[in-house]
Structure formats: C-alpha cells, structure tokens
Amino acid sequence: MFSFEDIYSAADRIKNVIHVTPVMTSSYIDSLCDMKVYFKCEHLQKTGSFKARGALNAIKIIVSDPENKSSSVITHSSGNFGQALAWAAKIHNIPCVVVAPNNAPISKLNAMRDYGANVVLCEPKDREMVCNNLRDTGLHTEMVDPFDDYRVMAGQGTIAIEFLEQIPDLDALLVAVGGGGLCSGIVIAAKKIKPTIKVYCVEPEGKNLQHSLDSSVRSWDPDAGPVKTIADGIRVLRIGKKCFPPIFEKCERKVLTVVSFHVQS
C-alpha cells in the first residue's frame, strides 16, 4: 500500500540530491484571479521536471535493497520520466532502457540518450506492451512505471511537503494530471499535513477524468490513443490503477479542464 510515511521517507532519501525548487508569484496573475497565486517551479528541478523526484526515489530503493537482484531498469516515456530515470540510473551506475513513442519530441529523445538511456522507439499505443515484453525477456531487469509505481508516487509527493513548508497558508493546490503519479502523491501528503486544503485535478481537453470521478471507476476506452495536446508530458489517456484511489478519495470532485487553445497560449 501507499501512505504519507512513504512520502516522508522519500523526502529524506532524495533530499541531498534534489533541488528545493523556488516558489514564484505574478501580480498580473493575482489580479486576473483576484487571489494570491503561487507557482512551484519544478521546471527548475534536476532534468527539468518534477519527475526526477520519483525516479530517484525508485532507483535509491532498488539499489539499497540487498535482496533485489536487478542489474538494470526499464520504463516507457515520451520524454520527461525517461530523462529522469536515465539520470537517476546513471548516477547509480545502472543501465537504463526507455521505450518511447516514435512521435516523442526529438529534443526529449536526445536528452534521454544524453543521460545514458538506451532508447527503443515504438508506435505510441504500443509502448507499454513493448516495455513489458522487453522486461520479461531481459535478465535482472526491473520495471519502473512512469506513474503507476508507489516508489514514484512517493517521490512526487515530496513536492507537497516542500511547498507547504515554503507557503504554509495555501488553501488549494491545482495539479496537472497525466497518469496520476504526481497528483496521487501530492494529495496524500497535502491532506496529511493540512487536512483542510483542497486539491484539484487539472487535465487537457479530451482526457475525461471527470467521468471516472463521477462514476467512481477508471472508465477509459482501452483502444483509444493518447490525448491530443501540445502538453506531451500529460498525453497519457488514463489514470494508473494505483494512482486512481487516492485521487478519487481525496481530490475535489470538480476537474478543471484546459482547452488546447489555452494550453498553447
């Protein structure tokens, strides 16, 4: 299972490597929203995204377990988590394979390779299948899912601990949702630290998370392709099986959907 204690342990595990990212404000945004808005700048994190937190936590758990025989790791990613896992694996001298969709941005594919990953390209809808097949045929290869992995979820949840230490008076958090690893970790940590805080899921148009929250089940078309959005990091259509329960149980029922025009602008 997954709890706040896992997130707290992750924070201690990764604290000497991960950046404490700054919080920024904008008087213009404040005036538009008629409230004080704070931005947690995880784009300034190692590898350029929050995903370094979860990836590093997973790798540190793997290498510290004397019973773990894994000598390499594998994941699937359109770029950000692949970069993060390759970076974390590299600093621990572990080979890393990333299965990536062939429509991933060239810049992100090159970045994964620069961090030392062996990148395997496939059709966008096949990346999980290809990843699982490579894992099953590899010797001592451990799968680290980019979002549906408790180790990853715990690492991402450390953002909430850090954010609430920086700005204790936060009333609500707006969290972008792809596979749900970030939001599930954040909502567990935030609600433990400050039970009155509200956590809202923010999704790109076409994801339809609202329907799943209304029906209380993960209800996505298994044959549907990725969400069509310029935000390539959250194109994954469905929420992970492990990520969905905390999101359903603890997040606000109202999902905030952003149309493509607003994402681009």
**Pick from 17-26, 65-74, 94-103, 201-210: least confident:** 201-210
- Between 152 and 103, name the one with better pLDDT: 152
Ordered DSSP codes for 26-72: -HHHHHHHTS--EEE-GGGSGGGSTHHHHHHHHHHHHHH-TT----E
> Nearest 5°: phi and psi at 173?
-120, 135
Bridge partner list, 141: 72
The predicted pLDDT at position 225 comes to: 55
Amino acid at 53: R
Give the number of other Cβ atoms within 10 Å of residue 191's Cβ. 19
Sorting pLDDT into bands at 50, 70 and 90, what band is 230?
low
Residue of 136 and 189 predicted with greater confidence: 189
Given a cut of 70, whether residue 220 has pLDDT beyond it is: no
Highest mean pLDDT among 22-31, 70-79, 138-147, 207-216: 22-31
User: Considering only CA atoms, which of 197, 237, 242, 200 is closest in space to residue 220?
Assistant: 237
Range with lowest mean pLDDT among 115-124, 127-136, 255-264 = 255-264
**What pLDDT, on the 0 to 100 scale, is given for residue 222?**
53
- Please state which of the ranges 44-48, 54-58, 92-96, 224-228 shows the lowest mean pLDDT: 224-228
Among 40, 46, 49, 51, the active-site one is 51
Structural domains present in the chain = 4-50+150-264 (3.40.50.1100), 52-143 (3.40.50.1100)
Give the tens place of pLDDT for each residue, 3-46: 999 999 999 999 999 999 999 999 999 999 999 999 999 999 99
Both tokens of residue 15? 């604290």
* 78 included as an active-site residue: yes
Is pLDDT above 80 for 237?
no
51 a catalytic residue: yes
pLDDT of residue 226: 57
- What are the structure tokens assigned to 204, written together? 């790109």
- pLDDT, tens digit (0-9, with 9 covering 90-100), for 146-188: 999 999 999 999 999 999 999 999 999 999 998 999 999 999 9
- pLDDT score at 261: 43
Query: Is the per-residue pLDDT at 253 higher than 90?
Result: yes
Q: State what percent of residues in the chain have pLDDT above 90.
A: 73
Catalytic residue among 49, 77, 78, 184: 78
pTM of the shown model: 0.92
pLDDT band at residue 223 under the 50/70/90 scheme: low
pLDDT at 67: 84
